[in-house]
Amino acid sequence: MTATLDDHPIHSWLTDMDGVLVHEEAALPGAAEFISALQQYGRRFLVLTNNSIFTPRDLRARLSRSGIDIPEESIWTSALATARFLAEQQPGAAAYVIGEAGLTSAMHEEGFILADSDVDFVVLGETRTYSFEAITRAIRLITGGAKFIATNPDVSGPSAEGPLPATGAVAAMITAATGTQPYYVGKPNPLMMRTALNRIGAHSETSIMIGDRMDTDVKSGLEAGMRSVLVLTGSTRAEEITQYPYRPTAVLDGIADVVPLVERCTATESVELGRTERSADSPRSGRRDGAPAPHERIEVMLRWLTAGESHGPSLISLLDGIPAGIELTSDDLKAALARRRLGHGRGSRQKFEQDVLTIHGGLRHGRTLGSPLAIEVANSEWPKWEKVMSADPVPREDLVIDAGTGDEREIARNRALSRPRPGHADLSGMLKYGFDEARPILERASARETAARVVAGRVAAALLEQAAGIRLVSHTLQVGAVRVPEDAELPTPEDVAALDADPLRCFHRETSAAMVDEVDAAKSDGDTLGGVVEVLAYGAPVGLGSHIQWDRRLDGQLAQAIMSIQAMKGVEIGDGFATAGRRGSAAHDEILAVDGSAGGTSGTFPRVSNRAGGLEGGITNGQVIRVRGALKPISTVPRALRTVDVSTGEQTTANHQRSDTCAVAPAAVIAEAVVALTLADALLEKTGGDSVAEIRAHLEGTQALQSALTDRRPDPAP
């Protein structure tokens, strides 16, 4: 079948999501390229779905995990269409809503009052846990005069265990009890198409709808006055097309075949749509030439950056993607910074480098707003460094002093650091960036930067605890050659105060005393020490992270986060390297039936041990997450090591900067912060949600589904 649209240029594109762009969690061939082409050529487009459970942010995350990058504003759901329609009909009305975050958020954003009595509308959408009480209330409200609205007529939805009842099925139940038919807003109602076109300012005559179902996508597109394309990667099969009294403008094998049409349309403003046959030498790789698409790292949900130098005016921490509703104060952040300064073996800098904290956005009256959170940690020593570290040029006379003989010499803080320190970024950075001294490198490479990470991590920790009940604990396992016994008890969240009071944040009292002696001996010898720290995450739900792609494995993300901390040289999850020396029969955590003795979180089976550290296949398994990091001895050694003066080429000793003898205790706090940030991103990727309340609701729904599997009991013996 061929249809020519030479006289009808296509400026705007609407496409269904499931069956066109993705199948379950996998992108269909050509989907990413199709979206990329629309973005590259500046075409207006929307991705449509009848699903009302999820917010656009949730769906964006799902598509991103599949390798398809679509902004939230380019996603249009039946929930959004329903809320927009009702807002035009009766703005500011009261509604009783049965649904999840996608629907409740849409209604709220359109200004509706959500109530359970004296309402104008009963609005029914999908939910993974339909409540008998909610359905009963809806029946009574409709009987009392409330108008009945439903997001879509789909009677069932897919799941791993089989079909689930959806909006249409529950609406039929309510109709049977009330005699009132709902008004369905979603497909196949062309109203869904019209609200979408209005959203992007498009006209039906220059728009096209792409879908995989004749009875919804094609029908609603045609009735809205648009051209339509049916792709054969979803519900409708080719032999079923003739059963319908209407036809799509074109039938294509898949969305990959639409990509060249976007390009041709852009070049000529006319498109000839025709059935595209696959050639034997053109595999369905998602690209027309059969080549694999280049890999792009999955975009994170929680983006955080730091800026600033060690002796600059301040450090800046910026977090984007933080949901609304986290309870947080500036005192919470100051307390986190104070924990970072603790520890036996710290240098004199900790006494005079006080942290002055200012929050510049994203927080109001003790709650996050959902907007970017900007936190500044000022440097109390800045007046001493203002000229040396000035962003603008400084007159030479301000950087020199009279040496007493009529000669000028550089002030101490501005002297060129031409003797790079072994173990630091000095020499590598100088060579990489073309500097002839180390100051421009060491200022940013300094561990002082971690102050910005610690405040960001405190925000993430608050999100984890308040939205998901995840609580973090960090402690010291080893300092120098002194190590906590392998069978020592692990600290819990209730032990954090005791850990913070310990000079080295060690939970084992006898070992802590030996660690203090070890630090004192190293200081007396003019040397430094490293060690091992561990972060524990209690209450992490099953299912954070994924095995699907290398960069979605949570253990890999945690390892990268730990290794990004200055001076870290090793990382392990769970028993890590010790497991490598065991036989398989003694290396893994056996799974017990639900009446077993060992525990985990709800929604999983108990285990007899936790050697895996709460992660298997890159996915959390419900056990306590255990991540360890190995910190090398501090590189700035009082008895300076040998180096080369790059200004002369002569052998000499390294520059000496004020430093610590042992920084293992603060390293534990820093590791706790980066683990919190990594887990918070994984939680948001899993649940989506624009607020703490939405995240909780999504997590509860997921855990209810998981419990359907793990709560099964074996049949009793006959």
Specify binding-site residues for FMN: 444-446, 566-567, 617, 632-636, 658
Question: Residue 436: which of 644, 646, 643 has the closest Cα?
Answer: 646
- Is there a contact between 51 and 78 (Cβ–Cβ < 8 Å)? yes
Give the C-alpha separation, 315 to 357, whole Å: 10
Question: Residue 64: which of 104, 40, 35, 101 has the closest Cα?
Answer: 35
- Is there a contact between 470 and 537 (Cβ–Cβ < 8 Å)? yes
- Is there a contact between 298 and 346 (Cβ–Cβ < 8 Å)? no
- Is there a contact between 81 and 50 (Cβ–Cβ < 8 Å)? no
Q: How many CB atoms lie within 10 A of CB 689?
A: 28
Binding-site positions for NADP(+): 340, 346
Structure tokens, 236: 């409708």
Give the C-alpha separation, 108 to 100, whole Å: 12
Give the C-alpha separation, 49 to 92, whole Å: 25
Binding-site positions: 340, 346, 444-446, 566-567, 617, 632-636, 658
- Is there a contact between 619 and 546 (Cβ–Cβ < 8 Å)? yes
Structure tokens, 37: 């082409």
List of E strands, 444-556:
471-479, 482-483, 531-538
Identity of the amino acid at 419: R
Length of the chain (residues): 718
Give the C-alpha separation, 373 to 320, whole Å: 7
- Is there a contact between 629 and 568 (Cβ–Cβ < 8 Å)? yes
Q: How many CB atoms lie within 10 A of CB 369?
A: 16
Give the C-alpha separation, 197 to 271, whole Å: 20
Q: How many CB atoms lie within 10 A of CB 303?
A: 13
Cα distances (angstroms) measured from residue 497 to each of 265, 335, 355:
65, 12, 21
Give the C-alpha separation, 202 to 46, whole Å: 11
Give the C-alpha separation, 341 to 360, whole Å: 23
Give the C-alpha separation, 194 to 171, whole Å: 24
- 132-143 helix and 167-178 helix, angle to the nearest 10 degrees: 50
Phi, psi of 514 (to 5 degrees): -70, -35
- Is there a contact between 573 and 513 (Cβ–Cβ < 8 Å)? no
Question: Residue 33: which of 293, 298, 296 has the closest Cα?
Answer: 293
Question: Residue 55: which of 11, 96, 12, 99 has the closest Cα?
Answer: 99
Q: Which residue has the tokens 């599997």?
A: 709
Give the C-alpha separation, 422 to 406, whole Å: 36
SS (H, E, C) 209-232: EEECCHHHHHHHHHHCCCEEEEEC
Identity of the amino acid at 655: N
Question: Residue 379: which of 306, 450, 311 has the closest Cα?
Answer: 311
Q: How many CB atoms lie within 10 A of CB 555?
A: 23
Give the C-alpha separation, 471 to 492, whole Å: 9
Question: Residue 205: which of 191, 220, 226, 229 has the closest Cα?
Answer: 226
- Is there a contact between 631 and 476 (Cβ–Cβ < 8 Å)? no
Give the C-alpha separation, 646 to 435, whole Å: 11
Assign residue 577 a region (left: φ > 0; alpha: ψ between -120 and 50; beta: otherwise): alpha
